[in-house]
A and B are shown apart, each in its own frame.
Chain A
Amino acid sequence: MAVVEAFVGAATVEPGRGLYRVHTRRKLMILTAMAIALCVSFAVDLAWGPARYGLDQVLLALFDPGAVSDQVRTVVWDIRMPVAVMAIVVGAALSLAGAQMQTILANPLASPFTLGISAAASFGAGLAIVTSVPLLPVAASLIVPANAFIAALGATLFIYLISQARGVSVQTIVLLGIALVFTFNALLAFLQFLASEQALSAVVFWTMGSLSKATWPKIGVTLAVLLIALPLFARNAWALTAIRLGDDKAASFGVNVRRIRLETMLMVSLLTSVPVSFVGTIGFVGLVGPHIARMILGEDQRFFLPGSVLAGALLLSLTSIVSKSIIPGVVFPIGIITALVGVPFFFSLIITTMRKSW
């Protein structure tokens, strides 16, 4: 405090800290509300389907499985639960990946979808489905996700390496991403042209993105990546926020910008490639989730980080419900629904929110 008192005119100054505490409490309340909304959405996702159950039955099936019929227990636990959990985990992972991509590339358009990473994964999966050529020596049943993973990882690292070159602007990275999207789409189209009818329909279904491929092992792997990434990002929360003030400024705060970027991009490449390799192309969550969090919570990573995770998880969980509601008995591929639901929602937020979102 002795140094504080050294400031000229210090004794007469009071103000901001009370208001800062109020703002902080408000952000914590928003995060709590988002978490509650996610729990409700999860329960509705379990209740919703060809056989509709009340929330009381779902809660009973969750917390006292012996008290409900075998049919309810089987539908809730064995059929709907993996899909509902996968929606949350994949939404959280993609949104977190998008948030950190936007942070370290200083680019509001950065996301797995817009930078061509999803397109790369689609190409990898297409290569496996059409030609059975493995990019990794794995069991035959894992060739599709493994190829998608390697292709997505390669695309992410390629973007990272280019972004590190001196003189590369934000616009260059966006253009590079667009170029990657076109390149991998063209390569995929080439594979589709060569594919048999059966392989073609498998490729098309894969590229639409679907949670119906969810299994507990896939959930476990995706969740593990998420649980490794979150503490790392949390530890670097101040540094990541500082990077948004510019590299020079962050470095002047003592941030090792290069190391943080490398760590983050490696983690982002895993967060992106793992879920995409399991569920296919799910667009917009990685773009819209972080923007929603940014608009309502700002970019202090202590709030932006959990906010992005919750926004992405909530977005995909709600989308999962919608995908089952359009035509009773039919589950639409979730990749189609994320665009149909997410984008208008995003537009309405941009138009109704006065606060600058980037």
Chain B
Amino acid sequence: MVGLQLDEVGAAYGRKTIISGVCVPKIAAGEVVAVIGPNAAGKSTLFKRIAGLVKGPGTVQVTGSDKGRNAIGYMPQDSSANAVLSVYESLLLARKQKSSWSVADADLIYIDRVLGALNITDLSFRDLGALSGGQRQLVSMAQALVREPDILLMDEPTSALDLHRQVEVLDFVTTQARQRGMIVMIALHDLNQALRFADRVVLIDHGVMRAFGTPSEVITASMLRQIYRVEARIEKCSRNFDHVIVDATAA
């Protein structure tokens, strides 16, 4: 079973250090980990560092996978593209890298299944440039999924989705994580989503990891005051789920 561990991980663009000393104990197969933090905290850079897109000190340890670099699938935050390609072609592209020009039926069947699972079959032959922001996010997610990663990094995958799609997508990826034994790391701004869907939470602020633990351990009123500068309460709803209720911005 796949595992992921970060030891003293850092990353820099040129001379500017973006993240440093991030240590995350071993994340097990099937776990969903939310990465939270204010704007420009370093969440995207952390994902890029894990995905191997930027270099830096420390070690990203992936265990129990035989897929090498393909073990990690990354869905970037910005999925805008003006290439003259259909959604279907873009998924094929994601799946076929470093292989021959010919396309096997098995590849196409897999793409059909992913499109169906995300309920975006109707977009199959739409040009990428003609998609809305939310549709682009779903297609970007499909591009990551068709690569059959063992670890899926999703950078704010629900920021442009309506409420129904947000819940649908987060339900889908958590189900995928459980059923396929995949590790899912999601950068989220909606802390209630983190409370509801994540098994564990990584809190990043100013490029440093401030906390790691279960959602209720990390998302607390004092953390919200200190990191997000808001006065808030964490209260149980009638179904006994934790919810963040924001009262005001902190002084």
Which A residues are within 8 Å of any B CB, using their own CB?
1, 3-4, 6-10, 12-17, 19-21, 23-24, 166, 234, 237-239, 241-242, 244-246, 248-249, 251-255, 294-295, 298-300, 302, 355-358
How many A-B pairs fall under 8 Å by CB?
148
Residue of A nearest to B89 (CB): A300
Interchain CB contact (< 8 A) of A16 among B51, B94, B125 = B125
By the criterion CB–CB under 8 Å, are B74 and A252 in contact?
yes
Q: How many residues of B contact A (CB 8 A)?
A: 61
In the complex, B238 has a CB within 8 A of chain A: no
A20, B115: Cα distance in complex, Å: 14
A201, B116: Cα distance in complex, Å: 66
For residue A163, give the distance in angstroms from its CB to the closest CB of chain B.
17
In the complex, B65 has a CB within 8 A of chain A: no
By the criterion CB–CB under 8 Å, are B117 and A10 in contact?
yes
Residues of B within 8 Å of A13, CB to CB, are: 112-113, 115-117, 121
In the complex, B19 has a CB within 8 A of chain A: no
Leading 7 A-B pairs by shortest Cβ distance: A13-B116, A17-B108, A244-B83, A252-B74, A7-B117, A16-B124, A248-B76
Residue of A nearest to B108 (CB): A17
In the complex, B111 has a CB within 8 A of chain A: yes
Mark B52-74 against chain A: 1 for CB-CB distance below 8 A, else 0.
01000000000000000110011
Residues of B within 8 Å of A17, CB to CB, are: 105, 108-109, 111-112
By the criterion CB–CB under 8 Å, are B14 and A166 in contact?
yes
For residue B240, give the distance in angstroms from its CB to the closest CB of chain A.
26
Which residues, 121 to 154 on B, are CB-close (under 8 Å) to A? 121, 124-125, 127-130, 140, 143-144, 147-148
Mark B78-91 against chain A: 1 for CB-CB distance below 8 A, else 0.
11111111101110
Question: Contacts A6-B179, A17-B112, A19-B124 given: A241-B78 contact, CB under 8 Å?
Answer: no
Interchain CB contact (< 8 A) of B108 among A20, A249, A251 = A20
Residues of B within 8 Å of A299, CB to CB, are: 83-85
For residue B64, give the distance in angstroms from its CB to the closest CB of chain A.
16
By the criterion CB–CB under 8 Å, are A244 and B81 in contact?
yes
Residues of B within 8 Å of A14, CB to CB, are: 112
For residue A165, give the distance in angstroms from its CB to the closest CB of chain B.
11
A6, B179: Cα distance in complex, Å: 7
A133, B113: Cα distance in complex, Å: 65
Residues of A within 8 Å of B176, CB to CB, are: 6-8
By the criterion CB–CB under 8 Å, are B111 and A16 in contact?
yes
Residues of A within 8 Å of B106, CB to CB, are: 1, 4
In the complex, B110 has a CB within 8 A of chain A: yes
In the complex, B180 has a CB within 8 A of chain A: yes
By the criterion CB–CB under 8 Å, are B148 and A166 in contact?
no
Residue of A nearest to B79 (CB): A249
In the complex, B225 has a CB within 8 A of chain A: no
Residues of B within 8 Å of A244, CB to CB, are: 81, 83, 85
By the criterion CB–CB under 8 Å, are A355 and B48 in contact?
no
Residue of B nearest to A1 (CB): B106
Residue of A nearest to B181 (CB): A6
Chosen A-B contacts, 8 in total, with CB atoms closer than 8 Å, are: A3-B180, A7-B117, A13-B116, A238-B99, A244-B81, A245-B81, A249-B79, A357-B84
By the criterion CB–CB under 8 Å, are B82 and A358 in contact?
yes
A6, B111: Cα distance in complex, Å: 13
Residues of B within 8 Å of A238, CB to CB, are: 93, 96-99
Question: Contacts A245-B81, A249-B79 given: A15-B74 contact, CB under 8 Å?
Answer: no
Question: Contacts A7-B117, A244-B81, A298-B84 given: A237-B101 contact, CB under 8 Å?
Answer: yes
Residues of A within 8 Å of B80, CB to CB, are: 246
A254, B69: Cα distance in complex, Å: 7
Interchain CB contact (< 8 A) of A356 among B75, B84, B93, B103 = B84
A321, B73: Cα distance in complex, Å: 52
Q: Most chain-B Cβ atoms within 10 A of its Cβ — which of A3, A7, A23? A: A7
For residue A97, give the distance in angstroms from its CB to the closest CB of chain B.
19
A95, B245: Cα distance in complex, Å: 59
Residues of A within 8 Å of B69, CB to CB, are: 254
By the criterion CB–CB under 8 Å, are B113 and A166 in contact?
no
In the complex, B172 has a CB within 8 A of chain A: yes
Residues of B within 8 Å of A253, CB to CB, are: 93-94, 97, 143, 147
For residue B111, give the distance in angstroms from its CB to the closest CB of chain A.
7
By the criterion CB–CB under 8 Å, are A4 and B110 in contact?
yes
Which residues, 173 to 214 on B, are CB-close (under 8 Å) to A? 175-176, 179-180
In the complex, B35 has a CB within 8 A of chain A: no
Residues of B within 8 Å of A237, CB to CB, are: 101
Residue of A nearest to B74 (CB): A252
Residue of A nearest to B130 (CB): A356
For residue B81, give the distance in angstroms from its CB to the closest CB of chain A.
5
Residues of B within 8 Å of A246, CB to CB, are: 76, 78-81
Question: Contacts A7-B113, A7-B114, A356-B130 given: A252-B96 contact, CB under 8 Å?
Answer: no
A355, B74: Cα distance in complex, Å: 30
By the criterion CB–CB under 8 Å, are A241 and B73 in contact?
no
Interchain CB contact (< 8 A) of A245 among B83, B109, B111 = B83
A302, B73: Cα distance in complex, Å: 24
A166, B112: Cα distance in complex, Å: 38
Q: Most chain-B Cβ atoms within 10 A of its Cβ — which of A12, A248, A355? A: A248
A249, B80: Cα distance in complex, Å: 10
For residue A138, give the distance in angstroms from its CB to the closest CB of chain B.
40
By the criterion CB–CB under 8 Å, are A248 and B98 in contact?
no
